[in-house]
Structure 1
Amino acid sequence: MAEDKKTFIDKISKALAKCEGLTLKDLLFSYRGTPYPVTACSVETFQALEDLEARRDDMVLVSYPKCGVNWLIQILSDLIFTTLQSKPVSTELPFIECGDPGKYQRMKQIPSPRILATHLNYDCLPKSIFKNKAKILVLFRNPKDTAVSFFHFHNNVPGVPSYSSWDEFFSEFMNGKVSWGSYFDHAVTWNKHIEDENTMIVIYEDLKENLTASVKQIAEFFGFSPTAEQIQSIADRATFQAVKDKAQETHGAIGSFLFRKGGVGDWKNLFTEAQNQEMDAKFKVCLEGTKLGAKLKYDVYCKV
């Protein structure tokens, strides 16, 4: 298992190394109208993505960047280990759209159950996920904290191209010109499928508020039956601080940047009044009155 972890961390390090010397302009390429980072994705990999053969027992984890999916991967890995006594193999980059086109052939060798993570919209997922009825867990975080976390990732990770200011990043974020495109397009797309069979939406802030209840809900969704003691013990190991403390061991040098603060409300330190009004208006147009909008509790987490 130690060799698997080393291979996984090496792949993350290689992806980061590709950032050296890149400008923001050089970092992104467009595929079907959405920007992606050249360091992790390629046209060839997207073209090969349809070759991914999903299994019925695959666990698909979806989120927009910086919404906490790496945290969710850790929780699910622990759930698998605790209930099945088997550790998920993680030699590939955790996101299905990241890496070289040959990864989909290699993924056939990974034993079930596999964790398939992605930042992609519903419409961009491989068709075999739906055909084979794999379960899809979609994680959302309030858009203001998501934007701030995304900004800090760009400006804190050594080698990753930085934005000249928060104002510059905010403008690009609102216009969907950051990696993986628009938060709101992503949210609108998934809201259309919020009641689909085999799909469940979880909210980052709910995880923070009651991790034990969230672990139980996630376990039930994927068909696991841990005891109350096992659920509590997974939750204890999965607090944000516990995951952050082990981040270097699990993710190498990037670990401390992937698991930075994990707080709720950090947006208040950066948003101007004008930016608050702009995002409030965008939320109103895109998500107010929707089921996902209600789940996000925007008035609780995003109003001053």
Structure 2
Amino acid sequence: MGAENRRICWLASYPKSGNTWTRAFLRAYQVDARSPINPNDIGKISRSESRRRYFGLVSGIEESSLDEAAIRSYRRDVQELIAKEIGDFQVAKTHNATVSPFGERLIFPEFTRCAVYLVRNPVDVVDSLADHNGLSIKDAIKLMNDPGHQIGGPGDPFVTQFLGTWSDHVRSWTQQDSFPVLIVRYEDLKQNAIAVFTQVLRFIGWPVDHQRIARANEYCSFEHLQEFEMRNGFGELSDRSVSGKFFREGRVGTGKKRLTSEQAEQINAHHEAVIQQLKYC
């Protein structure tokens, strides 16, 4: 299959690692924002290969009637459709790992141009994951350590997405060689967002305008996103969220304050190799 079909640029991450913030920046940059953006519009910058309606489109089957076997058989068709329809200034969001459950791919290199992989310190991820899913820290740690961890599925607007453990997810994207991957650490974004977002734009092949980058960075700031959600709500907020906020804190190091030393050590022991690889120790 020719290079003309390799049009998807993935924005991939384990949940709660900066994917939404990055899409907010790309949306602000796309429209050359001159005021704070509406985060409910960030879907205009991205597609999701796990959205159930795509499977209804390619299969001709009523969405609610699609079982897991049918979904597995149509994943490739969905990504082929996205590759044909995706705009030059759009990306595709995914939380899937690049694995092959049941012997069938989740991410297809023949439709992939590149990927930006967003990653965050797992001690902070578990704190955010617990709040988002209405879990205790103990149960969130179990989830991050679960090789069978899945999200979405029957009755959900998104089909089943296969995450696995946090380490397995990171490795699946960063240690494959089917397409180029830019690794972006959430902590680096927080430290120097303009420099990192500039790197992202260059990597995905968008034109770089430094004044436009500065405006986009200002108008997609975490504070602006928080204020918008407080006043208007945000469509990606989980109905299980403990805090009732999607844009809760967005800080680096909150996990260390909320986890016990034993809980932090449990995460570090389970994910030691990848934590060292990413220089989180």
Aligned equivalents of 2:131, 2:255: Cα separation in 1? 11
1:102 aligns with 2:102: no
Is the CA contact (8 Å cut-off) linking 2:113 and 2:179 kept in structure 1? no
Aligned equivalents of 1:115, 1:271: Cα separation in 2? 34
Percent identity of paired positions between Structure 1 and Structure 2: 23
Aligned equivalents of 1:243, 1:224: Cα separation in 2? 24
SS at match of 1:252: coil
* Deviation, structure 1 residue 223: 1.5
1:59 aligns with 2:9: yes
Q: How do 1:1-304 residues align onto structure 2 when only pairs under 5 Å count?
A: 55-82=5-32, 90=43, 95-100=48-53, 101-103=55-57, 104=78, 111-124=87-100, 126=106, 128=108, 130-155=109-134, 163=135, 165-176=136-147, 178-179=149-150, 180-193=163-176, 197-247=179-229, 251-252=234-235, 254=237, 257-284=245-272, 286-287=273-274, 293=277, 296-299=278-281
Is the CA contact (8 Å cut-off) linking 1:67 and 1:146 kept in structure 2? yes
**What is the number of equivalent residue pairs in this alignment?**
226
Aligned equivalents of 2:236, 2:13: Cα separation in 1? 22
> Which amino acid in structure 1 is aligned with residue 17 of structure 2?
C
Q: 1:237 to 1:55 in 2, by over 3 A?
A: farther
> Which amino acid in structure 2 is aligned with residue 184 of structure 1?
S
Aligned equivalents of 2:180, 2:116: Cα separation in 1? 8
Q: 1:136 to 1:204 in 2, by over 3 A?
A: same
Aligned equivalents of 1:197, 1:166: Cα separation in 2? 35
> Which amino acid in structure 2 is aligned with residue 77 of structure 1?
R
Is the CA contact (8 Å cut-off) linking 1:97 and 1:118 kept in structure 2? yes
Q: 1:137 to 1:93 in 2, by over 3 A?
A: closer
Is the CA contact (8 Å cut-off) linking 2:97 and 2:164 kept in structure 1? no
* Deviation, structure 1 residue 135: 1.8
* Deviation, structure 1 residue 245: 2.5
* Deviation, structure 1 residue 262: 0.6
Q: 1:109 to 1:228 in 2, by over 3 A?
A: closer
Aligned equivalents of 2:180, 2:13: Cα separation in 1? 16
Is the CA contact (8 Å cut-off) linking 2:124 and 2:255 kept in structure 1? yes
* Deviation, structure 1 residue 92: 11
* Deviation, structure 1 residue 102: 1.9
Aligned equivalents of 1:89, 1:172: Cα separation in 2? 28
Q: 1:249 to 1:131 in 2, by over 3 A?
A: farther
CA-based RMSD: 3.2
Q: 1:169 to 1:199 in 2, by over 3 A?
A: closer
1:27 is aligned to none
TM-score, normalised via structure 1 length: 0.64
CA deviation string 1:80-99 (max 9, x = no partner): 3339xxxx883799532232
* Deviation, structure 1 residue 123: 2.6
SS at match of 1:246: helix
* Deviation, structure 1 residue 136: 0.8
2:66 is aligned to none
CA deviation string 1:220-272 (max 9, x = no partner): 11112232211111111222212233347583372863221111111123322
Q: Which runs of 5+ in 2 are unaligned?
A: 34-40, 58-77, 151-162, 239-243
